[in-house]
Structures are given as structure tokens and as C-alpha cells.
Amino acid sequence: MIFTLHAVFALLLLGAVSGHAAAKTCNVAPLGHGKDDTDQVEAAIARCGHFGTTVFAPGEYNITRKMTWDLVSSRVDLHGYLSFIPDIQYWLDAHNTYRVIFIQDQASWFVVTGRDFVIDAHSTGGINGNGQPWWSYFATRTREDGDGRPVAFTLKNVTRGVVRDFRIEAQPFWCNAVADSSEVVYDGMYCNATNQDPLYAGQNVVPNTDGIDTYRSDKITLLRWDITCGDDCLAIKGNSTNIVAKDITCRGGNGIAFGSLGQYIQFNDIVDHVLMEDLKFIRLDPQVQPNLGSGVYFKSWTGTVNGSPPTGGGGGGGYVSNVVVKNVFLDNVTLPIHVYQTNGGHTGDEPSKLQFSNLTFVNWTGTSQRSTIVELACSPAAPCPNMRFENINITPPSGTAPSYICVNVASEFGLPACNATGLA
Ligand SMILES: *[C@@H]1O[C@H](CO)[C@@H](O)[C@H](O)[C@H]1NC(C)=O
Ligand SMILES: *[C@@H]1O[C@H](CO)[C@@H](O)[C@H](O)[C@H]1NC(C)=O
Ligand SMILES: *[C@@H]1O[C@H](CO)[C@@H](O)[C@H](O)[C@H]1NC(C)=O
Ligand SMILES: *[C@@H]1O[C@H](CO)[C@@H](O)[C@H](O)[C@H]1NC(C)=O
Ligand SMILES: *[C@@H]1O[C@H](CO)[C@@H](O)[C@H](O)[C@H]1NC(C)=O
Ligand SMILES: *[C@@H]1O[C@H](CO)[C@@H](O)[C@H](O)[C@H]1NC(C)=O
Ligand SMILES: *[C@@H]1O[C@H](CO)[C@@H](O)[C@H](O)[C@H]1NC(C)=O
Ligand SMILES: *[C@@H]1O[C@H](CO)[C@@H](O)[C@H](O)[C@H]1NC(C)=O
């Protein structure tokens, strides 16, 4: 139902954009090795980004500083890669990135704003994040939210935008973020954070390489995503409403997250009306990426404030409701379905007031690394009503019986026996 609405709106949007796009065209080709393409890329967007078309020929565009594209009734054909120089100290200087997405003070080196646009990368272009030097550098250093590692591709304050067949190679940090935006369709997205430094074989040195984080956004549609990462394949954060994700492959990482939520005491985080379908979770060679944490998991901070965001926080309220996750295949994930409300917490904290309700899981198959298939650890201050399960056929390790754990669940339907026995 939600999906159909979004598909119709996407078609309308394409019609609206193609009506304007003939006005002017800018053509750009890479200047070649050793040259800086940033000026010519910015100049083309300045000239053709409003009511025009910008065509980037195949190849690598050397981008050496932060860049914003404001696109209005515009089309961009990005046949090549915007390659962001791996000068770690340069980007970590707070002056050299934007802080536009608010959540966790994260940094961005490339921001797209505007309305009624299409960016089509034709599966031959997108962004090269040159992440390997970043992953190796941070393998032996502390990583903190808001430390300045840049999001590869940020959509901010966008209304009616389409991103198509876009490839992001080696994101250093989050691959995508969308914030303060509405009616955005990402149709075809590839992200791949795969460590190739033999020094770190067998370790996850690509944490925080999330496929996308959605924040303060409405009507966001994610179609045909292929994400290799060491963290959240998708992360649905506060005030994400009417979200559709369909045909999503997650290779390694933590799984799909709702959260974390409730980090900011001054805000309610609302996540409402989410449909996810046709999801695959693939475990990688453990020498390449040891983690495949969950299928889908939901997490909130506790009700106590433990320090300030971005690194600490807690105490925020809100709710997550009307979520359907169906047609899911799991390849040996650690814990297929998980709810917990103690993120960043300590024993003795106040329980979270953020409530999870109306979550529905349909047609899940595949394998789990442990016998626990579902663990719902809801807050005693906000027990979870209406947890629904249909056709959950996940095979636990041979010789073990599947188990289902429900703590502070107000009502549950469809699991054989769900109770607090065995909660870790
Ligand atoms: C990118 O441009 C800088 C000059 O600003 C240059 O030093 C560097 O070699 C270029 N990199 C590539 C890969 O062409
Ligand atoms: C968002 O974009 C609109 C135009 O599309 C502009 O008027 C407004 O100032 C922008 N808001 C922010 C916070 O950048
Ligand atoms: C991701 O990148 C690694 C390293 O280049 C490669 O081996 C792997 O096949 C890529 N994954 C996908 C899904 O393309
Ligand atoms: C979410 O929206 C509600 C109003 O609907 C607002 O009160 C709250 O502050 C917003 N939260 C965030 C994180 O912006
Ligand atoms: C269940 O999900 C699988 C994908 O994991 C899909 O192939 C199958 O068609 C779905 N079954 C139904 C009845 O929708
Ligand atoms: C599941 O994953 C674990 C950790 O990588 C591995 O030890 C185990 O052999 C895998 N089991 C199957 C059935 O693939
Ligand atoms: C949960 O579903 C019930 C029954 O459909 C509905 O009455 C209730 O409003 C929903 N809760 C939220 C928070 O949307
Ligand atoms: C609680 O769950 C366990 C394991 O799933 C099951 O064996 C037991 O019968 C359940 N107890 C009740 C009271 O439902």
C-alpha cells in the first residue's frame, strides 16, 4: 500500500523533471591524473543545476574540498566517480566539512540540497570514498560519533529527489544520510566498505560504515540496495516516517537498525509507518568481515541521561510503530530479531519511555547462529503492545531448539512460546 503510493509519486516526479531539463546542458570530463576537478564540477552545477542538465563523462573526478550541489528542476548524469582525496587530517579539520544533519554532529563532505531533481549514475559512477587509508588509520585509534569522519553522500533539505543506480566505493564512514527531506527515492544504491589491509584480516575495522541513516525525513523510498559494511545496513533514526525499503541485500555488519533512538532528552524520536520487504542478509568470509549481527533490530537509550550527545545521551521519549518487515532471508545471522532499550545505559538507570508497538514480521527464512530467534527486551516503563509474527521459519544450529524471548511485551501473536526464560 505505502509502496504503491511512493511508486506513483516517483513517476510523477520523473515527468516533472524531464519537462524542464532540456533548457541547458553542461558537459564535464575529468581533467586527468594529478589535476583538481573540484572547480569545474562546481562551475557546471552552478550553471546547469537549476533548470538544466549536467552530464559527467566516465572517469574519476578529483575532489579536494567540501562541495554542495543545489539542484532545482534539474538532471545530473554522473557516468563517472567523484573521488574524494584521502587526506585524513584535512577532512578531520572541522572547517573542511559541513555539519548539516544534526544527528550526532556528524560531518559531511558532499551535500545535495534542492527539489525536483534526478541524479542518475548509470551504475558506472557515483562516489569513490577512498576508505582504505581511513579504516587503517582508525583501526588503532578511538572512533567517536561527531569526530569528523565524513558521510560520503548527504541529502539535506531535499524535496522530491531521485538518486538512481549510484555506486559508492569504500565509504570511510556512513555511506549515505538523508535529513530534513521528503519524497526522496533512491532506486539502485551500492556501497562497499571492505577492508583489504592484511594487518586487520579477521577484524571489523569498518565500523560506522552504515548504508544510510534517515533522520527528520518523510516519504523516503529505498529500492535495490546492495550494502557491504561493518555496521548498520540501514539505520532508521528519529522522525523518519513513511519509509519504504524493498529489495535490499546486506552483506556483513550489524543488520538493519531502528535507532538508536532517545539519545536526545529534548526530542521525541518518532518512527511511524515503515515497510521493508525482500531483504537478504549474507554472512561474509570472517577474514573479510566477521560480523552479521541481526536481521532487524530496534534500540533505544535508557531513560537516564548519561553524558551529552554525540557520544553520550539518553532520556529521550517518542515511539516506533506500524512497522512491517516481510520476505526476509538470513544467512547465519547472530540474532535475527532483537529489541532492546538499554543502549549506552548502566545498571540502575531509569527505564526508557520510548515505546515500540505494532511491529509485524512476516515470512522469515534462513539460519541463525544461535538458538534464540527472537529477543524482545522492551522497557518496563513502556511494554511493547501488538508484536506480530507470521511464518517465521528460521533454522537454529543443528541439535538446538529455537527459542523466543519476550520481556515486558504487552501482547504478542504468532510465536510458539515467548517468555522471559533464557534472557541473557
Ligand atoms: C588531486 O588534486 C591535487 C591538487 O589539488 C593533486 O595534488 C593530486 O595529485 C590529485 N589527485 C589525483 C588522484 O589526481
Ligand atoms: C530548504 O530549502 C528551501 C528551498 O527549497 C529554502 O527556502 C529553505 O531556506 C531551506 N532550509 C534550510 C534549513 O536550509
Ligand atoms: C566489495 O569489495 C570487495 C573488495 O574490492 C570485493 O571483493 C567484493 O566483491 C565487493 N562486493 C560486492 C558485492 O561487489
Ligand atoms: C519529531 O517531531 C516531533 C513533532 O512531531 C517533535 O516534537 C520532535 O522534537 C521531533 N524530533 C526530532 C528529533 O526532531
Ligand atoms: C517469502 O520470502 C521469500 C524471500 O525470502 C520469497 O521468495 C517468497 O516468495 C516469500 N513467500 C511469500 C509467500 O511471499
Ligand atoms: C556461522 O557463522 C559462524 C561465525 O562466522 C561460523 O563459525 C559458523 O561456521 C557459521 N555456520 C554456518 C552454518 O555457516
Ligand atoms: C497500533 O495499532 C492499533 C491497532 O491498529 C492502533 O489503534 C494504534 O493507534 C496503533 N498505535 C500507534 C502508535 O500507531
Ligand atoms: C517459555 O519458553 C521456553 C523456551 O522457549 C519454553 O520451553 C517454555 O515452555 C515457555 N514457558 C511458558 C510458561 O510459556
Residues facing residue 126 across a β-bridge: 81, 167
Look up residue 390 and give its amino acid: E
CA 5/CA 422 separation, integer angstroms:
42
Question: What separation in Å is there between the alpha carbon of 182 and the centre of ligand 2?
Answer: 12
Residue 424 pLDDT greater than 90, yes or no: no
Q: Which residues contact 247 (CB under 8 A, 6 or more apart)?
A: 223, 224, 225, 278
Over residues 213-230, the mean pLDDT reads 98
pLDDT band at 420 (very low <50, low <70, confident <90, very high): confident
> Which atom of ligand 2 sits closest to the CA of residue 180?
13
174 versus 14: the higher-pLDDT residue is 174
- Domains of the chain plus CATH, in order, are 1-219 (2.160.20.10), 231-424 (2.160.20.10)
Question: What separation in Å is there between the alpha carbon of 44 and the centre of ligand 1?
Answer: 19
Residues facing residue 71 across a β-bridge: 114
> Which atom of ligand 7 sits closest to the CA of residue 358?
1
Over residues 233-261, the mean pLDDT reads 98
Average pLDDT, the chain: 95
Residue 370 pLDDT greater than 50, yes or no: yes
Over residues 351-358, the mean pLDDT reads 98
Residue 2 pLDDT greater than 50, yes or no: no
pLDDT band at 423 (very low <50, low <70, confident <90, very high): low
Looking at residue 22, its pLDDT comes to 54
Question: What separation in Å is there between the alpha carbon of 417 and the centre of ligand 8?
Answer: 5
Is residue 234 within 8 Å of 299, Cβ to Cβ?
no
Look up residue 32 and give its amino acid: G
Over residues 368-380, the mean pLDDT reads 97
Q: Which residues contact 196 (CB under 8 A, 6 or more apart)?
A: 132
CA 344/CA 348 separation, integer angstroms:
13
Q: Which residues contact 285 (CB under 8 A, 6 or more apart)?
A: none
The reply to whether ligand 2 has any atom less than 6 angstroms from the CB of 68 is no
The reply to whether ligand 5 has any atom less than 6 angstroms from the CB of 277 is no
Residue 224 pLDDT greater than 50, yes or no: yes
**Shortest CA distance to 374 belongs to which of 341, 410, 416?**
416
Looking at residue 5, its pLDDT comes to 45
**Shortest CA distance to 379 belongs to which of 326, 338, 342, 333?**
342
Over residues 389-415, the mean pLDDT reads 97
Looking at residue 23, its pLDDT comes to 85
Of the chain, the percentage scoring pLDDT greater than 90 comes to 93
CA 251/CA 232 separation, integer angstroms:
10
Q: Which ligand is nearest to the CA of 388?
A: 7
With vertex at residue 306, the alpha carbon angle to CA 302 and CA 312, rounded to the nearest 5 degrees, is: 95
Residue 82 pLDDT greater than 70, yes or no: yes
The reply to whether ligand 5 has any atom less than 6 angstroms from the CB of 365 is yes
Which residues carry out catalysis?
231
pLDDT band at 319 (very low <50, low <70, confident <90, very high): very high
Question: What separation in Å is there between the alpha carbon of 77 and the centre of ligand 7?
Answer: 43
> Which atom of ligand 1 sits closest to the CA of residue 32?
14
Q: Which residue, by CA, sits nearest to atom 5 of ligand 3?
A: 194
> Which atom of ligand 4 sits closest to the CA of residue 216?
14
Residue 1 pLDDT greater than 80, yes or no: no
**Shortest CA distance to 92 belongs to which of 179, 6, 177, 150?**
150
Terminal-residue alpha carbon distance, the chain: 38
Residue 3 pLDDT greater than 80, yes or no: no
Tens digits of per-residue pLDDT, 180-207?
Answer: 999 999 999 999 999 999 999 999 999 9
Is residue 290 within 8 Å of 334, Cβ to Cβ?
no
CA 37/CA 56 separation, integer angstroms:
11
